[in-house]
């Protein structure tokens, strides 16, 4: 994506895919945070989940989905077509109202495409979501009409994993075997790890990819708080409390977004996987395994469901360690994947933990480098409480 922006840097963690997508685009030309257009958006009766049409002014086809999922669809559009938000929207600031009134031909075309895609899946594929924007566009504005002879004979890039695992070839180790090897690799002390804190440096993607400090707090079995510091725009905070999840960051239409449904399930999986002991046969339902390659290394993949989220763990065949975690949730126009790649594993209190990781989502990337990890420290419960709205300090 060609969107590099301040808030993309501020965008703290994978669970916030969609918001980051939003922010990435909008704030590119928005040096100062403005008050969100929708100050007190209406909510779905009987729940505190925000629907897209209640927050935004002119939603005609992607109705009836939560606002975070709606922003995810914008990420799918951008990624599938290889363009930025501004290529469809004429808005030049984070005045969200501008997004409602623009009438660019591309935006109109995109609306029709949603209808076409939905019809194709319904009429020809029994309602399964097998045709998405990406199926045809493959990162280009205009789908190719003629098979490329160059591509036909070019060496194929190794890393061509889809979010949905390929069928396992015969002889693939079972999920139980893969997880057992991981448990040995990570160290027996994993069972004794009850908390840890991480300090380090965060860099976003794009022209403003300069480093910022981050802090990460993890409390067993599944509490997680990630804070990326930014004194000019305000901190970006993502929290999973053990039951609830929030994203608080500057330049968002909803200042503190509470996660629901599949997004919450995905955040729960993310928080759980902070503790290697949670990587067990009960971590996910409907477990299956397959084999693939990441950067020319053989990986064994274990995929399963966490509520409505789909989670795939990739383990290096040789070391047994988890080198990639992909969480994805559904949307009307395709899945919204969030991928984290782990490296630089070091021993912390007898447990192998990654000191570097990169989180990639449809419209951005964030690199984290730990400088210090402290194990088994007491973390105050307030760390995992609902965060305050981001503000400069």
Our finding on whether 142 is near ligand HEC (CB under 6 A) is yes
Segment lying near ligand HEC (by CB under 6 A), choices 6-14, 19-27, 264-272, 308-316: 19-27
Residue 253 Cα distances to 5, 13, 29, 33, 55, angstroms:
16, 17, 16, 11, 8
Q: How far apart are CA 241 and CA 108, in angstroms?
A: 40
CB of 220 to ligand HEC, least distance (A): 35
Q: How far apart are CA 223 and CA 203, in angstroms?
A: 24
Residues 108-127 binding ligand HEC (CB under 6 A) are 109-111, 113-114, 117
Our finding on whether 85 is near ligand HEC (CB under 6 A) is yes
The residue within the footprint of ligand HEC, chosen from 106, 194, 297, 356 (CB under 6 A), is 106
Which of 28, 157, 154 lies closest to 86 in space, CA to CA?
28
CB of 311 to ligand HEC, least distance (A): 24
Size of the site for ligand HEC (CB under 6 A): 42
The two structure tokens encoding residue 37: 């257009």
Maximum distance among all alpha carbons in the chain?
61
Classify the C-alpha dihedral 134-139-143-144 as positive or negative. Answer: negative
Q: Is the separation of the CB atoms in 315 and 331 below 8 Å?
A: no
Our finding on whether 9 is near ligand HEC (CB under 6 A) is no
x/- mask, ligand HEC, residues 298-337, rule CB under 6 A, reads -----------------------------------x----
Q: How far apart are CA 255 and CA 235, in angstroms?
A: 12
Our finding on whether 131 is near ligand HEC (CB under 6 A) is yes
Our finding on whether 60 is near ligand HEC (CB under 6 A) is yes
Our finding on whether 19 is near ligand HEC (CB under 6 A) is no
The two structure tokens encoding residue 67: 């606002």
Q: List residues binding ligand HEC (CB under 6 A).
A: 21-22, 25-26, 56-62, 74-75, 77-78, 81, 83, 85, 87-89, 96, 99-100, 106-107, 109-111, 113-114, 117, 131, 133, 135-137, 141-143, 333, 363
């Amino acid at each position: 994506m060609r969107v590099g922006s301040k808030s993309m840097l501020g965008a703290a963690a994978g669970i916030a895919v969609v918001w980051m997508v939003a922010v990435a685009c909008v704030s590119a030309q928005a040096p100062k945070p403005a008050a969100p257009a929708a100050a007190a958006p209406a909510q779905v009766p009987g729940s505190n989940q925000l629907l897209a049409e209640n927050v935004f002014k002119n939603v005609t086809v992607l109705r009836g989905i939560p606002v975070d999922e709606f922003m995810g669809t914008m990420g799918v559009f951008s990624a599938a077509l290889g363009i930025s938000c501004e290529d469809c929207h004429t808005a030049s600031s984070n005045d969200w109202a501008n997004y409602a009134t623009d009438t660019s031909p591309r935006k109109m075309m995109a609306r029709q495409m949603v209808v076409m895609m939905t019809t194709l899946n319904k009429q020809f594929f029994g309602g399964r979501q097998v045709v998405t924007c990406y199926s045809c566009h493959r990162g280009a504005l205009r789908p190719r009409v003629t098979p490329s002879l160059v591509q036909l004979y070019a060496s194929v890039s190794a890393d061509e994993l889809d979010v949905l695992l390929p069928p396992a070839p015969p002889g693939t180790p079972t999920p139980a075997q893969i997880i057992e090897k991981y448990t040995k690799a990570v160290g027996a002390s994993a069972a004794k790890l009850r908390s840890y804190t991480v300090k380090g440096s965060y860099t976003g993607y794009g022209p403003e990819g300069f480093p910022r400090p981050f802090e990460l707090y993890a409390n067993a079995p599944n509490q997680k708080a990630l804070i990326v510091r930014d004194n000019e725009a305000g901190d970006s905070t993502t929290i999973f409390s053990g039951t609830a999840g929030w994203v608080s960051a500057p330049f968002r239409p909803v200042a503190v977004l509470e996660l629901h449904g599949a997004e919450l399930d995905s955040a729960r999986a993310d928080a759980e996987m902070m503790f290697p002991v949670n990587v067990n046969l009960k971590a996910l339902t409907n477990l299956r395994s397959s084999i693939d390659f990441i950067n020319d290394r053989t990986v064994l993949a274990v995929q399963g469901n966490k509520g409505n989220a789909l989670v795939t763990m990739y383990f290096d065949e040789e070391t047994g360690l988890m080198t990639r975690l992909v969480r994805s949730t559904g949307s009307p126009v395709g899945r919204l994947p969030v991928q984290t790649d782990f490296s630089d594993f070091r021993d912390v209190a007898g447990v192998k933990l990654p000191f570097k990781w990169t989180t990639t989502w449809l419209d951005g990337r964030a690199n984290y480098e730990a400088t210090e990890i402290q194990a088994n420290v007491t973390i105050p419960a307030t760390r995992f409480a609902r965060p305050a709205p981001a503000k400069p300090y």
